[in-house]
């Protein structure tokens, strides 16, 4: 474990990639050997904050070059682009942690419906393990391809999994009112993320049709299938844009199957996550700033007028993207789950 | 109408008072003759942005002085302080628009429960008219005392009133997930509103116990009482703090009594508010910035998985406080409702 | 004056145009009859905040149509585009207030040097009056074409004009360290104005080569020419980007020709601007928020270690663009200078 | 070096203390054994983001207890409070890194003038080493008491030291126009840092009388004394408040003694700092965000109209406070200077 593994970051220009670089620089078991982007350019031109810390020149993706130098690749590509690259890397024996949405939905038709794109890699889909360590830790260690979860998704799933696993809530009509900082929208300039448009403003978007919806439902239904009931989980998911850089908070409303007691639920959550170092079940109402720039997910519970409220937050770029990616990498390489992440 | 009425602003130091001054400066039918604050000081020391626009010196409150100079008084005092001042002004014939919470709840025990303070002015309570023109326009014109509504309250009530008035939704279990800019917390420095604490952060607060809850329920129950059903309205109200100056947005989830059609609901809302110049029923998802610095409340509707979502937003200091106060003043003085507010 | 003049806004999609619409809606002497943009579209699609306030459909520019309906046109076009449109409007007798840079620099070569574009309308250039009312009030009233000043420019000129006019400072080596909110960069999305890039960040840009430099020097040299000395004014101008929507503040360092006394300078400034209702000479250090959403320019002076510091701020979209445009319109139409602007 | 040294953080409630905790958690050579605050309370109540990471209970300061457990103490106390505590710790053999201003100014009268407080620890003053490793690296290793520099100070000194050391600029009339995020003002709520006051606003403060002025002059004069000239350095220092959490940027204007060439100056700076891993001399105009959350100071140079402009920025809480404190700790304990800081 004292030896560093050479890794590649494919698609180096985005915000998740930048966080990956920053974590991996501190990771005793990894070395970034290859970074790719559409053009040849210095990494510190793409990300000036890396000047003096990581001396790399990006080149366009070349599977042979990646496979020659690296055993692991992190993919920071847009959806649909990932599924072009993954088979090439897997064919060459490179293990892949894919941050896109391409391998998250098990059902190809669901994928096609929500992403308007036919899925072209059914083998990869069959191989992929959903990379949420808190639920799938045991399968991640031996995986060759990780579908790294979405940011809203992890927040929502971690918040609801204990209730669903213990079959404590109605599976239909769960309301997830979620709020995200602007970095969740990526690094490509567009009017809705233009500073004078979204600064000093708050709005809902994608109501009823955000792509993280089927992902949340698939994973929670899977969690629920191991409890008494096999009913699928069905959520109303409403994302909002918050004028801040990073952080996601979800306020979730669920109907208990039997009367709920706040204190008992908190205890049950603590028990559920006792082996998960990055979930903090807290008594107070958490603010996104408390988990910003960390890999923690903070969760609390309230019972209000017979309804269960779960409030959960995390840093969308870390626990919601690159932090959990390294958590998965740690499990795959035999490092302690927290290496490089505290 | 070409003559200006002299008005007083009692409690001149806060943000709502500042907005009042700015609106009244543009109002052809009003002149700010008196402003009071705890200390003698120039108004433009309290609010440097008023320099060169309003040349007034504040003095501590004196009912005789107010009554001598003014026919109308706007009260920007904290709750419990207002009910000390209102009887003195009413006894002297001054008409009052009270921006505090003191005259909003009709039931003295409910007031005592939520505000930890005994209500000492039952006569005022009996006289007070709830100052939401969209619902109580006809009573406001002849009122002597207006209980100006809360900011979360107006957002929530305007969003739900058409559904409740037409008895289209279940009255229990309505979820109001609301988000407010920081100016809603007032001008007194405290840690939770200290810039480096709340900037770049998002959190829920007062879950299950925010004081606007009983106000929303009282008014919506009153609205509902005129429909087929007399069931009281009961809401789960969850406020959140957004790192921005101003604006409130509420995302509301209600269960329809019979299958709902988005387009029909939008039409019904347009009809409901056709005589209300400050409610804009819009097709797109409104952002708070679109109504910031205006007296508009923007509302839209979505039907998602059989649930009705209402999304409404307004400027918490204008339509949520000082703008609607002037709207009430216009009705009381016979001006067009929009005077000074466009 | 009770009659409204019909005006056109050419180039309706930007931030300055939006502010123009908002001011003109409150202006008793103007009515927006025509708005143009590259595509046919509703004005409230371009600017949702105008819904319910201004019911106009934009169409591409057509000089005949503008001239048929309007006596005045405000131009919110990019530089180089304005000089295509202005001659067409002037030929049809329409008076023009041009918010671009095209008619500000009197010397065509200077224009070509700084804007990389040959100036094609020398006649317009000869006709144009520089629209800073505090300095050129008397010429504006009868002008047919107004070159509306730049935002950094007005801040800097208003801050320095009294010192230069009284020949109190060295004309070389004046340092203008200026800071602007992001709306100053326009409404076209680009990476440097992408929220997660410029939020929580502060930086200098365009050091030594910002296009407002020659404009500041030209006007201050003209001001100085009427004092004892005819030396040209020469400035080092350094703009910075502040993570906020609006506001410009300039901190200016000048070397006095003879020992300076703070109090005397403040008095001299008050005298200089006594007939200018939108310049507030203040004793305290002004914050941009105090003049935000107003047409005021706030100025104060300090003497530190024998150097004169002038600190001035204004709202870049109002006093720095659309507010002063309406101030010019008022002078041209015989309204009081403050109409629509208080 | 594989063994951890036990350290204390005295004054645990502020922002600099929080950053210390976060760095020390990642530092292989340190363990936080003691944290003090005015009341007994859990550290994760003071700083909820530390929950699950650092399990400590704060108690009021007790020199014996600190000395019993710790060899090193970091002091995050307000000025005047530090000089009460330092002698007690030094008498017990504890090495101290003091983040307050108490030991920075060598001259007691200068201290009294600028801090309105008599200095009561002349021995400490004599012992203290100014903790800017880039200039005083050799003395820091053996020091018992470190006066950790101010945030504006480090920015300004690192920006100017190469020019002064090589005697390339006039020593009088240097202008430092500096801008800081709000965390620089500390964690105590006050109106000027109340979110709705400073958000969306920009202003100068403390013009001509900010306490970092004499500190900058003292250190730069010391640097200059080793060059050809012994003239003291004299600066005009103007701080401004930027609506962001963290980051300082200084724009500095100096007059060269002989004509300056940009490229040569950049090379000279690179040479000057070649052994300093945390100074990045860059060609582009740096933004504070590029050094935020790092221990880097980014510097660039421009020559404009014969004047030298130096633009430097750093994170006020890290390189400007707690990061450099750990850099000093590394030098004192024999760790590589970068340990825990990359």
Catalytic residues of B: 151
Tokens standing for D127? 């012992």
Q: Which residues of A are catalytic?
A: 151
Q: How far apart are CA B95 and CA B89, in angstroms?
A: 7
Contact B200/D199 with Cβ under 8 angstroms? no
CB of C283 within 8 A of CB of C266? yes
Alpha helices in D166-299, H assignment, sequence order: 195-198, 212-225, 262-272, 288-291
Q: Are residues D196 and D99 part of one domain? A: no
Q: Which of the residues C58, C70, C151, C313 is marked catalytic? A: C151
Please indicate, yes or no, whether residues D16 and D120 belong to a single structural domain of this protein.
yes
**CA of A201, closest CA in chain B: separation in Å?**
5
**What does each C-alpha distance from A311 to A177, A318, B176, C101, D171 come to in angstroms?**
10, 18, 15, 51, 57
**In a mutagenesis test of the B interface, which of A200, A294, A301, A313 is the best target, namely the one with the most B β-carbons within 10 Å?**
A200
Answer yes or no: do A164 and A281 share one domain.
Answer: yes
Return the bridge partners of B310, or none.
B252, B301
Q: How far apart are CA C269 and CA C263, in angstroms?
A: 10
pLDDT in tens, C185-202: 999 999 999 999 999 999
Angle at which helices A262-272 and A151-165 cross, to 10° = 110
Q: With contacts defined as CB-CB under 8 Å, which chain A residues touch D286?
A: 48
Q: Which two tokens stand for residue A87?
A: 């088979």
Per-residue confidence (pLDDT) for residue C1, from 0 to 100: 44
CATH number of the domain enclosing B220:
3.30.360.10
In chain D, DSSP assigns E strands to 5-10, 30-36, 41-42, 57-58, 72-75, 95-98, 129-130, 145-147, 174-180, 203-204, 235-241, 248-254, 279-281, 297-304, 307-314
How far is C244 from A199, CA to CA, in rounded Å?
Answer: 8
Spatial neighbors of C165 by CB under 8 A, at least 6 apart, are C223, C224, C226, C227, C272
Residue of B nearest to D15 (CA): B196
DSSP strand E in C11-117: where? Answer: 30-36, 41-42, 57-58, 72-75, 95-98
D295 plus D168 within the same structural domain: yes
**CATH number, position C33:** 3.40.50.720
Query: Which parts of chain A have pLDDT scores under 50?
Result: 1
Identify all chain D residues contacting A292, using CB atoms and an 8 Å cutoff: 49
Chain B residue numbers touching C339 (CB-CB < 8 A): none
Instruction: Tell me the C-alpha distance between D315 and D296, whole Å.
Output: 8
**Interchain CB distance below 8 Å, C49 and B280:** no
Quick one: C83 and C209 in the same domain? no
Strands C57-58 and C41-42: antiparallel
Nearest to B88 by CA among B40, B129, B145, B139: B145
- Check D292 against C243: CB less than 8 A apart: no
Q: How far is D291 from chain C (nearest CA, A)?
A: 10
Q: Taking CB atoms and an 8 Å limit, are C243 and A195 in contact across chains?
A: yes
Tokens describing residue C254: 């000048």
Question: Could you tell me which residues of chain A have a Cβ less than 8 Å from any Cβ in chain C?
Answer: 15, 181-183, 187, 189-191, 193-200, 243-246
Which residue, A134, A116, A122, is CA-closest to A211?
Answer: A116
A160 and A108 part of one domain? no
Note the ipTM here: 0.97
What is the separation of C-alpha D59 from the centre of its chain, rounded to a whole number of angstroms?
Answer: 26
Distance CA(C82)–CA(C79), nearest Å, equals 6
Helices (H), chain B: 15-26, 43-46, 63-69, 82-91, 108-115, 122-127, 133-140, 151-165, 195-198, 212-225, 262-272, 288-291, 323-333
Give residue C314's region: left, alpha or beta (phi > 0; psi -120 to 50).
beta
Contacts of A315 in chain C (CB under 8 A): none
pLDDT at C227: 86
pTM recorded for the entire structure? 0.97
Based on the fold, state whether residues D171 and D111 are members of the same structural domain.
no
* Structure token digits, residue B330: 């216009």
Of the candidates B21, B67, B65, which has an alpha carbon nearest to the alpha carbon of residue B42?
B21
Split into its structural domains, chain D has a count of: 2
In what helix (H) or strand (E) does residue A10 lie, and over which residues does it extend? strand A5-10
Quote the minimal CA–CA distance from B190 to chain D in Å.
Answer: 5
Name A177's Cβ contacts closer than 8 Å, sequence gap at least 6: A238, A240, A250, A251, A252, A253, B177, B251, B253
Give the domain range for residue A82: 5-127
Are A287 and B201 spatial neighbours (Cβ–Cβ below 8 Å)?
A: yes
Tell whether A121 and A164 lie within a shared domain: no
Q: What are phi and psi of C103, to 5 degrees?
A: -115, 20
B135 occurs within a structural domain: no
> Using an 8 Å Cβ cutoff, are C341 and B53 in contact?
no
Q: Give residue A198's pLDDT.
A: 97
Return the bridge partners of B60, or none. Answer: none
Within a domain: residue D335? no
Long-range CB contacts for residues D117-120, cutoff 8 Å, separation at least 24: D117/D79, D117/D80, D119/D83, D120/D83, D120/D84
**Which of C127, C142, C160 is at the close of a domain?**
C127
Beta-strand (E) ranges in C90-234?
95-98, 129-130, 145-147, 174-180, 203-204
Per-residue pLDDT, averaged over C9-34, amounts to 97
Say how many residues make up chain D. 342
Q: Which of D58, D70, D151, D297 is catalytic?
A: D151
- Mutant choice from B31, B43, B48 vs C, greatest count of C C-beta within 10 A: B48
Mutate one of D180, D184, D201 to test the C interface: name it (highest C CB count within 10 A). D201
Question: Model confidence over D141-177: pLDDT tens digits?
Answer: 999 999 999 999 999 999 999 999 999 999 999 999 9
Q: Report pLDDT for C2.
A: 53
Taking only the tens place, the pLDDT of each residue in A51-109 is: 999 999 999 999 999 999 999 999 999 999 999 999 999 999 999 999 999 999 999 99
Return the bridge partners of C175, or none.
C236, C253
State which H helix or E strand residue A147 sits in.
Answer: strand A145-147
Closest CA to D86 of D36, D41, D144, D142: D144
The backbone region for B293, taken as left when phi is positive above 0, alpha when psi lies in -120 to 50, beta otherwise, is: left
Domain membership of residue B338 (yes or no) is no
What is the predicted pLDDT for the residue at A2? 53
Fill in the DSSP letter of residue A321. Answer: I
CA–CA separation, C98 vs B88, rounded Å? 56
Domain membership of residue C108 (yes or no) is yes
- Interface residues on D facing B, Cβ-Cβ cutoff 8 A: 15, 181-183, 187, 189-191, 193-200, 243-246
Q: Report pLDDT digits (tens) over C40-72.
A: 999 999 999 999 999 999 999 999 999 999 999
pLDDT of residue A247: 98
Residue B146 in any domain: the answer is no
Q: How far away is chain B from the Cα of A94, in angstroms, using its nearest Cα?
A: 38
Average pLDDT, chain D: 96
Instruction: Mark whether B122 and B264 lie in a shared domain.
Output: no
Average pLDDT over residues D74-88: 97
Domain assignment present for residue C87? The answer is: yes
The answer to whether residues D92 and D227 belong to one domain is: no
Q: Confirm whether C151 is a catalytic residue.
A: yes
Rounded CA gap, D66 and D70, in Å? 6
Q: What is the pLDDT of residue B1?
A: 44
**Helix (H), strand (E) at residue A95:** strand A95-98
Q: What is the mean pLDDT of chain C?
A: 96
For residues A21 and A322, what is the distance between their CA atoms, to the nearest angstrom? 9
Q: Which two tokens stand for residue C138?
A: 């008397």
User: What does the alpha-carbon distance between residue C197 and residue A37 come to, in Å, rounded to a whole number?
Assistant: 19
- Per-residue confidence at C107, pLDDT binned at 50, 70, 90? very high
- Nearest CA-CA distance, residue A4 and chain D, Å: 17
The per-residue pLDDT for range D15-38, each reduced to its tens digit, is 999 999 999 999 999 999 999 999
Does residue D1 carry a pLDDT above 80?
no
What are the per-10-residue average pLDDT scores of chain B (342 residues)? 85 98 96 95 96 95 98 96 97 98 96 95 97 98 97 98 97 97 97 98 96 96 91 98 98 97 98 98 98 98 98 98 98 97 91
How many Å apart are CA A186 and CA A100, to the nearest integer? 12
**D328 occurs within a structural domain:** no
Within a domain: B337 = no
- Do residues C175 and C308 both lie within one domain? yes
Cβ burial of A184 (10 Å; 0-12, 13-18, 19+) is buried
For D24, the enclosing helix (H) or strand (E) is helix D15-26
Based on the domain organization, do A277 and A207 belong to the same domain?
A: yes
**How far from A18 is each of A24, A193, C197, CA to CA, in Å?**
10, 19, 13
């Amino acid at each position: 474990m004292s030896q560093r593994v050479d890794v590649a970051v494919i698609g180096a220009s985005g915000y998740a990639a930048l966080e990956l670089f920053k974590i991996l620089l501190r990771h005793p078991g990894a070395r970034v050997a290859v970074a790719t982007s559409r053009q040849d350019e210095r990494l510190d031109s793409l990300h000036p904050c890396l000047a003096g810390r990581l001396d790399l020149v990006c080149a366009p993706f070349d599977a042979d070059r990646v496979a020659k130098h690296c055993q692991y690749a992190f993919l920071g590509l847009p959806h649909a682009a990932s599924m072009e690259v993954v088979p090439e890397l897997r064919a060459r024996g490179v293990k892949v942690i894919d941050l896109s949405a391409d391998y998250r939905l098990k059902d190809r038709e669901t994928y096609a419906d929500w992403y308007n794109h036919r899925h072209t890699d059914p083998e990869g889909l069959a191989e992929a393990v959903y990379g949420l360590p808190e639920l799938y830790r045991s399968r991640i260690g031996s995986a060759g391809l990780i579908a790294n979860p979405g940011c809203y998704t992890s927040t929502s799933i971690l918040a609801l999994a204990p209730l669903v696993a213990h079959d404590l809530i109605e599976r239909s009509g769960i309301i997830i009112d979620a709020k995200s900082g602007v970095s969740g929208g990526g690094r490509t300039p567009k009017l809705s993320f233009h500073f004078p448009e979204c600064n000093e403003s708050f709005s809902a978007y994608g109501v009823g049709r955000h792509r993280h919806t089927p992902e949340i439902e698939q994973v929670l239904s899977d969690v629920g299938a191991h409890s008494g009931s096999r009913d699928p989980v069905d959520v109303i998911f409403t994302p909002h844009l918050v004028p801040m850089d990073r952080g996601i908070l979800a306020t979730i409303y669920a109907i208990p199957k039997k009367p709920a007691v706040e204190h008992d639920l908190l205890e049950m959550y603590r028990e559920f996550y006792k082996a998960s170092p990055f979930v903090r079940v807290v008594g107070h109402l958490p603010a996104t700033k408390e988990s910003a720039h960390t890999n923690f997910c903070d969760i609390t519970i309230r019972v209000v007028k017979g309804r269960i409220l779960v409030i959960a937050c995390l840093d969308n770029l870390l626990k919601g993207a690159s932090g959990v990616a390294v958590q998965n990498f740690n499990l795959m390489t035999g490092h302690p789950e927290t290496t490089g992440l505290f």
